[in-house]
């Protein structure tokens, strides 16, 4: 059974909250409306701080500042090596403050400190450095065309990028958005998630301190239907890069129609994780465990549909439940805590309602299934066995620590069943047979496929979705190109 650690969660008083206003044109400004909203510590349910509640008026100021910084050339025309150098300096500052940033992330989001400290912030640094190196390596090509002409392409920044992110990896999503945009020469209007604005605001201050020109990075905290929608509709913003739910992406698509913004979407998933009988079952159990429970199950690519070949089902479940039942929940600031709270009351309620639904639909709850403790939004790591394809817990993104286990027999059926979802973000297969692995990788409709591993991310490897999991890619060269326009120049000779 999971144990709760005794240490009480670190309180707001232990971590200085330095930035809660809007960061616009290099200045810290309260929201024009004067309104604020509370950001909550999900481990204690207590308020951490009041944060400026930006809306259309603040987004307008931010968009004008970003436009000016773009059009004046302050950023796009800066020597590309200098742009890259500022990005390296930002990464260095983040590295120097890794402990305090990790603590702030854990306070605001609830994720265990060992993950913020050892996974999230190091990946932030890595992504910024990766893209810093790209700043002076963006170029077009020469094209042989018919006739007596010299034809070439230029890769130019798309302009002002509106960026809207969710709460599950607040700093990392900020870096995934800022890295390619800044390297390409774009300026930024970012709206962080209302649940977790604090680390993004801190990163804006660090960017100011290392010398980013005013207006290049603007951060306006606030809510989706007000501040978020204002980003999407603003005529001075050229592109919206959004990470979040597919339903929000549908609203954004409609709201952006009048200004025909370039859109990239990183949306949800219900990723199949397929374990064949010939797999290394210990490694697969570890991969299934980590691939679902990482970050409290709040990962877009969580392997939430686990398909196990019938002949090894019993043996595999024994390994998986053993790992799951040992998982340590509790104070996210305790070094040995593996699972913290869900991000807020809404997510907690949604997850608990899916656990009820799983029971009602006749799936067998073989691990967890309850709230953990009596304070904070903790949910026990939960496994449902005997799940069938059409159950809600096999179709809907739960975005919590709830795993659905399904059985399968042989290759013919599994690819069709793996694809039986409107999502297409990630998929994984565990097998020793390279033929099965490559066939699955080719036929599964997903943007990322892991073979005998899970959740392997790298700044250089593109990530994004098929189907309702989004379009466009982040990370790697493709992520950079998503912040550029191609211009064709033809010169008569
Ligand atoms: P969400 O769509 O509710 O919110 C995401 C962001 O959009 C927030 O900042 C929110 O304020 C804003 N928003 C809400 N309504 C808006 C509107 N009308 N106009 C503009 N902005 C609006 O999603 P969430 O619950 O915060 O995040 C969870 C979702 O994010 C899950 O579906 C998850 O899979 C997805 N996600 C995807 C990836 C990926 O890379 N594919 C990564 C992380 C999370």
Chain position carrying tokens 């073979």 = 451
Q: Is the CA virtual torsion 80, 85, 88, 94 positive or negative?
A: negative
Q: Average of pLDDT values for 183-208?
A: 98
Q: Average of pLDDT values for 250-256?
A: 98
Q: Average of pLDDT values for 207-234?
A: 98
Q: Tell me the H-state helices in 311-461.
A: 313-325, 345-360, 392-395, 411-418, 434-443
Q: Is 229 in the pocket of ligand 1 (CB under 6 A)?
A: yes
Nearest CA to ligand 1 atom 43: 300
Residue 9 confidence (pLDDT) above 50: no
Helix or strand (DSSP H, E) at 242: strand 239-243
The pTM (predicted TM-score) of the whole model is 0.96
Report the separation in Å between the CA atom of 168 and the middle of ligand 1, taken as the mean of its atom positions: 9
Q: Is 378 in the pocket of ligand 1 (CB under 6 A)?
A: no
Q: Is the CA virtual torsion 278, 307, 419, 477 positive or negative?
A: negative
Q: Percent of the chain scored above 70 by pLDDT?
A: 97
Residues 320-338: pLDDT tens digits? 999 999 999 999 999 999 9
Residue 48 confidence (pLDDT) above 50: yes
Report the separation in Å between the CA atom of 301 and the middle of ligand 1, taken as the mean of its atom positions: 14
Report the separation in Å between the CA atom of 369 and the middle of ligand 1, taken as the mean of its atom positions: 26
Strand blocks (E) in 247-377:
262-266, 272-275, 305-309, 364-367
Q: Is 164 in the pocket of ligand 1 (CB under 6 A)?
A: yes
Rg over CA atoms, the chain: 23
Q: Average of pLDDT values for 264-285?
A: 98
What is the rounded distance in angstroms from the CA atom of residue 131 to the CA atom of residue 109? Answer: 26
Task: Let me know: does 405 contact 306? Beta carbons within 8 Å.
Answer: yes
Task: Let me know: does 270 contact 304? Beta carbons within 8 Å.
Answer: yes
Report the separation in Å between the CA atom of 249 and the middle of ligand 1, taken as the mean of its atom positions: 8
**Out of 2-16, 203-217, 355-369, least confident range:** 2-16
Nearest CA to ligand 1 atom 19: 229
What is the rounded distance in angstroms from the CA atom of residue 314 to the CA atom of residue 327? Answer: 20
Q: CA separation (Å) from 228 to 188, 191, 242, 262, 269?
A: 14, 6, 10, 16, 22
Residues 366-409: pLDDT tens digits? 999 999 999 999 999 999 999 999 999 999 999 999 999 999 99
Nearest CA to ligand 1 atom 30: 244
Band of residue 204 on the pLDDT scale cut at 50, 70, 90: very high
Q: Taking all residues of the chain, what is their mean pLDDT, rounded to a whole number? A: 96
pLDDT for res 13? 56
**Tokens standing for residue 9:** 């969660």
47 phi/psi in degrees, rounded to 5: -70, 135
Active-site hit among 53, 266, 338, 380: 266
Does residue 266 have an active-site annotation?
yes
Report the separation in Å between the CA atom of 263 and the middle of ligand 1, taken as the mean of its atom positions: 14
pLDDT for res 295? 98
Residue 12 confidence (pLDDT) above 60: no
Nearest CA to ligand 1 atom 39: 266
Q: Is 221 in the pocket of ligand 1 (CB under 6 A)?
A: no
pLDDT for res 3? 43
Q: Is 397 in the pocket of ligand 1 (CB under 6 A)?
A: yes
Specify which residues 364 forms β-bridges with: 385
Residue 477 confidence (pLDDT) above 60: yes
């Amino acid at each position: 059974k999971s144990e709760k650690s005794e240490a009480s969660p670190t309180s707001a008083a232990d971590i200085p909250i330095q930035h809660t206003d809007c960061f616009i044109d290099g200045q810290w400004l309260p929201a024009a409306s004067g309104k604020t909203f509370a950001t909550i510590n999900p481990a204690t349910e207590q308020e951490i701080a009041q944060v400026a509640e930006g809306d259309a008026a603040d987004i307008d100021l931010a968009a004008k500042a970003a436009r000016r910084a773009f059009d004046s050339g302050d950023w796009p025309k800066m020597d590309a090596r200098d742009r890259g150098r500022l990005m390296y300096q930002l990464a260095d500052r983040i590295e120097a403050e890794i402990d305090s940033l990790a603590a702030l992330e854990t306070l605001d989001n609830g994720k265990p400190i060992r993950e913020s400290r050892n996974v999230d912030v190091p990946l932030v640094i890595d992504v910024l450095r990766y893209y810093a190196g790209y700043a002076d390596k963006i170029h077009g090509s020469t094209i042989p065309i018919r006739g007596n002409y010299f034809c070439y392409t230029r890769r130019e920044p798309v302009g002002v990028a509106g960026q809207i992110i969710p709460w599950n990896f607040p700093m990392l999503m900020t870096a995934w958005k800022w890295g390619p945009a800044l390297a390409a020469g774009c300026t930024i209007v970012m709206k962080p998630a209302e649940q977790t604005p604090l680390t993004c605001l801190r990163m804006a201050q660090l960017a100011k301190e290392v010398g980013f020109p005013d207006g290049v990075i603007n951060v306006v905290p606030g809510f989706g239907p007000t501040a978020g929608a204002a980003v999407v509709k603003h005529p001075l913003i050229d592109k919206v890069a959004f990470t979040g739910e597919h339903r929000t992406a549908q609203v954004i698509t409609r709201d952006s129609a009048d200004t025909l913004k370039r859109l990239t979407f990183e949306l949800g998933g219900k990723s199949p994780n397929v374990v064949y009988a010939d797999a290394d079952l210990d490694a697969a159990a570890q991969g299934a465990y980590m691939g679902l429970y990482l970050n409290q199950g709040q990962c877009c690519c969580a392997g939430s549909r686990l398909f196990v070949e019938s002949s090894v089902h019993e043996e595999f479940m024994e390994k998986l439940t053993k790992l799951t039942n040992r998982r340590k929940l509790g104070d996210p600031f305790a070094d040995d805590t593996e699972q913290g709270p869900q991000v807020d009351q809404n997510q907690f309620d949604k997850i608990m309602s899916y656990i009820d639904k799983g029971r009602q639909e006749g799936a067998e709850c073989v691990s967890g299934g309850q709230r953990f403790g009596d304070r904070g939004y903790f949910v026990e790591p939960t496994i449902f066995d005997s799940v069938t394809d059409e159950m809600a817990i096999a179709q809907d993104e739960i975005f919590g620590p709830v795993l659905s286990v399904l059985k399968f027999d042989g290759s013919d059926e599994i690819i069709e069943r793996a694809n039986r979802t409107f999502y297409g973000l990630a998929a994984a297969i565990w097998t020793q047979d390279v033929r099965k692995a490559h066939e699955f990788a080719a036929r599964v409709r997903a943007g990322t496929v892991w073979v005998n591993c899970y959740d392997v991310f790298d700044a250089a490897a593109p990530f994004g979705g098929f189907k309702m999991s989004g379009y466009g890619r982040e990370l790697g060269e493709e992520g950079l190109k998503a912040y550029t326009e191609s211009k064709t120049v033809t010169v008569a000779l």
